[in-house]
Amino acid sequence: MKLPIYQVDAFASNPFEGNPAAVCPLDEWLTDDLMQQIAMENNLSETAFFVEQDEGYRLRWFTPTTEVDLCGHATLASAHVLFEHLNYDQKTIRFDSNSGELNVQEEDDRLVMNFPTAQLNKAETPSFLEKAVGISANELYRDTDYLYVVDNEEQVRSLDPDIRALAKADVRGIIVTAPSDEYDFVSRFFAPAAGVDEDPVTGSAHTMLTPYWSKRLDRETLVGRQVSKRGGTVYCHHKESRVEIAGETCTVMQGEFSI
């Protein structure tokens, strides 16, 4: 069996930036085990699979080790494949997912995703987490991830956490963030428990970052920069219970997966 596959750099205006995702359009679902094996073989932070249904598509995401309920950059990459390679001719794509309905639309050179806003549940910092991150948190919030707020951008950029210790956290991942002079905020995202030591650019993390920085900076429209080695810029708009997350995309590889 041969399956079409695309590799797309999301939140990237040029190849080798942003976050690479594999995208596999399907006529019908494969077994969960086979999709997990394909994701492991791709060895990217996420592989997305989608099947057409009703007036949209059912979308699922797999890391090399597990299925996840929400992934921003692979959603962006999936929309890119539909618009750029599969001749999707409507303005908005509707995806059904484990996190509910997700819509993506084209706006100039960017794709804009509409995601549910995460909850900002104030939390006490576990001692193991502070030791693993290596610097103290000014504030900590919890939902699917931890949002770990520190003083300044340099602390985020120079961070060298204990990845194995971070895997002990009973959340998907840890977002470390600080204010920025050039952007509204910077961040990095670590999810070793989900098989991703550090994610280059994490769209779904901005469902927590956006409401936090919107309230702190008293602005609905924000620009964030994820300062991983590859790096990527994320354009955010806070809309109460929803967050618009936008970025650029580019295809870097197209082929067939033989199984």
Tell me which residues are annotated as active site: 46
19-26/47-53 β-pairing: parallel
The contacts of residue 174 (CB under 8 Å, 6+ apart) are: 129, 133, 145, 146, 148, 161, 166, 189, 190, 191
Could you please report the per-residue DSSP string of 77-137? Answer: HHHHHHHHTS---SSEEEEEETTEEEEEEEETTEEEEEEEPPP-EE-PPPHHHHHHHSS--
**Distance between CA 101 and CA 112 in Å, rounded?**
14
**Distance between CA 131 and CA 217 in Å, rounded?**
29
What is the separation, in whole angstroms, between the first and last Cα of the chain? Answer: 5
Helix, strand and coil content of the chain, in percent to the nearest 5, comes to: 20, 45, 35
